[in-house]
Chain A
Amino acid sequence: QVQLVQSGAEVKKPGASVKVSCKASGYTFSTYAMHWVRQAPGQRLEWMGWINAGDGNTKYSEKFQGRVTITRDTSATTVYMELSSLRSEDTAVYYCAKDGGYVPSRLDYWGQGTLVTVSS
């Protein structure tokens, strides 16, 4: 069965960077894209970007362009999301989510989420 297991919670200071991992299993990793979506407290879900797990191509939301980098390690079937220049507004739960087939598409499996807290 498809599983996406994310790394643990992080606490960072403003201006720092955070890197969250998402280990995929149960499907052919390189066949499907992986998205990152975040949810700030009490806010709606917000799409950040995706990576083609096969060729490594990426696409980012303009809101995060220049601050977010999504990479993958095919041998480890793991996708990473790094967000830099953190500010308090970046405090949120970050999710990886597998694309359902033809990017863009529905998000058919989600990781459990990683809470990132930005605080001085």
Chain B
Amino acid sequence: DIQMTQSPSTLSASVGDRVTITCRASQSISRWLAWYQQKPGKAPKLLIYEASRLEGGVPPRFSGSASGTEFTLTISSLQPDDSATYYCQEYVTYPLTFGGGTKVEIK
């Protein structure tokens, strides 16, 4: 199985800050990576797919990038509504696997 390692596991930042979350795959997954946002008690919501494509309706302050097996989710200007846990997911092979999550808190 492909292992997806996210860092950090938690982060605390202020409104307006630039926030970066990293996800590393244990082997090549090309650009077959998605990012999800999950709020407490809710289902995950797709933000980004194919490493950098923004899902429709998602604010443009969210962006994704890739370099080899390392992927990054960036929030350019953190907003109060962005308080959530973020997960990466690879979809190159089965079983589909997810990262351990990054909890983003607002200071």
B87 touching A44 by the CB < 8 A rule? yes
Which range contains the number of A residues in contact with the other chain?
20 to 34
Contact check, A104 vs B49: say whether CB atoms are below 8 A apart.
no
Is B45 an interface position by the 8 A CB rule? Answer: yes
Q: How far is the CB of B2 from chain A (nearest CB, A)?
A: 11
Per-residue interface assignment for chain B, residues 43 to 55, with 1 indicating a CB less than 8 Å from any chain A CB and 0 otherwise: 1111001100001
Q: Which residues of A contact B45 (CB under 8 A)?
A: 110
Q: Give bound CA distance, A107 to B91, whole Å.
A: 9
Q: Are A104's CB and B92's CB within 8 A?
A: yes
Q: How far is the CB of B46 from chain A (nearest CB, A)?
A: 5
| Surface stretch bound by B, among A7-15, A23-31, A57-65, A72-80 | A57-65
Chain A residue nearest to B56 in the complex (CB): A108
**Closest beta carbon of chain B to A13's beta carbon, Å:** 26
Interface of A is mostly: loop
Most buried by B among A44, A97, A106, A110: A106
In this complex, how many residues of chain B approach chain A with their Cβ under 8 Å: the count is 24
Task: Determine whether A112 belongs to the interface, using a CB cutoff of 8 Å to chain B.
Answer: yes
Q: In the complex the two chains form, is A111's CB within 8 Å of B43's CB?
A: yes
Contacts of B96 in A (CB 8 A): 35, 47, 104
Smallest CB separation, A61 vs chain B (Å) = 4
CA distance A99 to B95 in the complex (A): 14
A104 B93 Cβ-Cβ under 8 A: yes
User: Which residues in window 49-107 of B have CB below 8 A to A?
Assistant: 49-50, 55, 87, 89, 91-101
Instruction: Out of A35, A108, A113, name the residue touching B55 (CB < 8 Å).
Output: A108
Q: When the two chains form the complex, which single residue of A45, A61, A95, A106 contacts B91, counting CB atoms closer than 8 Å?
A: A106
Q: B-side interface residues toward A, CB under 8 Å?
A: 32, 34, 36, 42-46, 49-50, 55, 87, 89, 91-101
